[in-house]
Amino acid sequence: MPEQCWMLMSDLLARDGLRFGPLGENWTHICVDMQRMFAEPTDWQTPWMNRVMPQVVRLVEVSPDRTVFTRFVPPLTADQMTGAWWRYYVRWHRMTRSELDPGLVQLTRDLVRFTPPARVVDKTVYSPWHGTSLQMGLSRLKIDTLIVSGAETEVCVLATVLGAIDRGYRTIIATDAICSSADATHDAMLTIYHGRFGMQVETATVDEIIDAIR
């Protein structure tokens, strides 16, 4: 019997969808780094960001006041950073704010219109949990569930998801509202969410999430 139960659980965890029941009232949508510098021709362009943009917009439109946009803000120069981040920005110096058009750090034109009421949280590293007010704001609102969209699947989205897991949030990834610049690692990351984080992460389409909210 225990083996049969485990097989049933394994089958459940391999599925997409909201496996752990309906959404409660205390949810927030975190939209990760949907910025012009990733959508437009730059050294960091994510080619299929524009392809998922309509799904991201649909998710935001459900409740803009429940949306938090994160923005990845590069330093002015590499010398403002230390260690591996210094080396990183020496390599990507054209993406530092001293060389980059400042408008490219902003949210895309499709999304900036939602602020306010949507909040914006700026960060200087991949994780939005480090050195920001994100956790304080979520705690104040007694949030227990996070819906995650944005870019990139295996970088800043991953950092957002891992931080949410560490803090015990119910974490739902909108599979058709995330994107990457590399198909292979995007697909591999979704496999890892199923195989290694199945008890802590749910993967669902925007349609499924919106239906659950309504």
The number of beta carbons lying within 10 Å of the beta carbon of residue 148 is 22
Tokens of 93: 């110096």
Statement: the pTM of the whole predicted model exceeds 0.95: no
Q: CB under 8 Å, gap of 24 or more: what pairs does 37-43 form?
A: 37/95, 37/100, 37/104, 37/105, 38/151, 38/152, 39/108, 40/104, 42/94, 42/95, 42/100, 42/104, 43/92, 43/94, 43/95
Q: Which residue matches tokens 């230390």? A: 82
Q: Write out the DSSP string of 40-106.
A: SSSTT--TTHHHHHHHHHHHHHH-GGGEEEEEE---SSGGGS-HHHHHHHHHTGGGSTTTS-GGGGS
pLDDT of residue 15: 61
Q: Residue 208: name the closest of 62, 47, 3, 94 by CA.
A: 62
Tokens of 203: 């993967």
The one-digit pLDDT tens for each residue of the chain (214 residues) are 444 433 333 444 446 789 998 888 999 999 999 999 999 999 999 988 999 999 999 999 999 999 999 999 999 999 999 999 999 999 999 999 999 999 999 999 999 999 999 999 999 999 999 999 999 999 999 999 999 999 998 999 999 999 999 999 999 999 999 998 888 888 898 888 888 888 899 999 999 999 998 7
- Spatial separation of the C-alpha atoms in residues 58 and 72, rounded to whole Å: 22
- Spatial separation of the C-alpha atoms in residues 178 and 30, rounded to whole Å: 11
- Spatial separation of the C-alpha atoms in residues 79 and 123, rounded to whole Å: 17
What does the pLDDT look like over 39-66, one tens digit per residue? 999 999 998 899 999 999 999 999 999 9
The helix (H) or strand (E) run that includes residue 130 is none
List, in sequence order, every residue forming a beta bridge with 203; answer none if it has no partner: 173
CATH topology of domain 21-74+106-213: Rossmann fold (3.40.50)
